[in-house]
């Protein structure tokens, strides 16, 4: 597999930032999202740092597998932005499904988020 991909985001605090992930396998074919739960199968986690030390500062952003199972819709919402300060964060987007003898978790995308305080124009 060709996971995880990397994508760095510049985010203006208070804005909505939306994007879609169309995962592909190592050969370039669409990665099958069948078997992944539509509502709970995608997780978009933002934190101050990777690893155990970042767990206390985690923010859960919006992510859901599309109904046709071709992509994952993701968004950083203004509510997530209020929990962030003007600094750098790291994020991971994972999909998971129940499996035997263990659950399967795949990190699709990872990167950094540079947060800038929202810019307002002069009145």
d(CA 123, CA 9): 29
pLDDT score recorded for residue 58: 87
55 pLDDT band (50/70/90 cuts)? low
Instruction: Please say if the pLDDT value at position 40 is more than 80.
Output: no
Residue 74 or 41, more confident: 74
pLDDT score recorded for residue 27: 86
d(CA 84, CA 113): 10
pLDDT score recorded for residue 3: 78
Query: pLDDT tens, 60-107?
Result: 999 999 889 899 999 999 999 889 988 899 999 999 888 788 888 888
Alpha carbon distance, N-terminus to C-terminus of the chain? 51
All structural domains of the chain = 5-116 (2.60.40.10)
pLDDT score recorded for residue 21: 94
pLDDT score recorded for residue 39: 62
Q: Per 3-state DSSP, what percentage of the chain is helix, strand, and coil (rounded to 5)?
A: 10, 45, 45
């Amino acid at each position: 597999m060709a996971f995880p991909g990397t994508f760095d985001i510049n985010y203006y605090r208070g804005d909505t930032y939306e994007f879609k992930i169309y995962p592909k396998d190592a050969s370039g074919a669409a990665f099958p999202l069948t078997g992944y739960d539509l509502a709970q199968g995608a997780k978009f986690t933002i934190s101050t740092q990777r690893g155990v030390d970042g767990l206390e500062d985690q923010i859960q952003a919006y992510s859901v597998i599309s109904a046709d199972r071709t992509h994952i819709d993701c968004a950083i919402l203004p509510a997530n932005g209020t929990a962030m300060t003007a600094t750098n964060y790291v994020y991971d987007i994972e999909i998971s499904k129940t499996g035997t003898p263990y659950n399967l978790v795949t990190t699709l995308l990872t990167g950094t988020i540079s947060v800038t305080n929202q810019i307002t124009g002069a009145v």
